[in-house]
Amino acid sequence: MRISIKITYDTPYAKEIVESVKVDNVNIPKGMTINMYNDKDNRIFIEVSMEIEDNKNILTLRNTVDEILQNIITLERTLNKLAKK
């Protein structure tokens, strides 16, 4: 069975964030795919899919999505602070 999680995130820094986060998407777990892109309306689209062979795979999928979102939020906060200077 394959499970996919799709997320759309709006931010004025979509392009910069996608370029930064994509670099981290190396050495991902076996059976996992991560697709991420942005559009001209400053939205980030993320799809993380994984072949589920046992319960550990579900936790791995969830933890990966959680890490991606944490990175996006951290980058957005940093870029907001830099823009205010």
Please work out, in degrees rounded to the nearest 5, the angle formed at the alpha carbon of residue 53 by the alpha carbons of 22 and 62. Answer: 40
Average pLDDT in the chain: 93
Instruction: Classify 2-84 by CATH class.
Output: alpha beta
What is the distance between the alpha carbons of residues 60 and 74, in angstroms, rounded to a whole number? Answer: 21
Q: What is the pLDDT of residues 21-53, one digit of tens each?
A: 987 777 888 899 999 999 999 999 999 999 999
State percent of the chain over pLDDT 70: 99
> What are the structural domain ranges in the chain?
2-84
Instruction: Give the predicted TM-score (pTM) of the model.
Output: 0.89
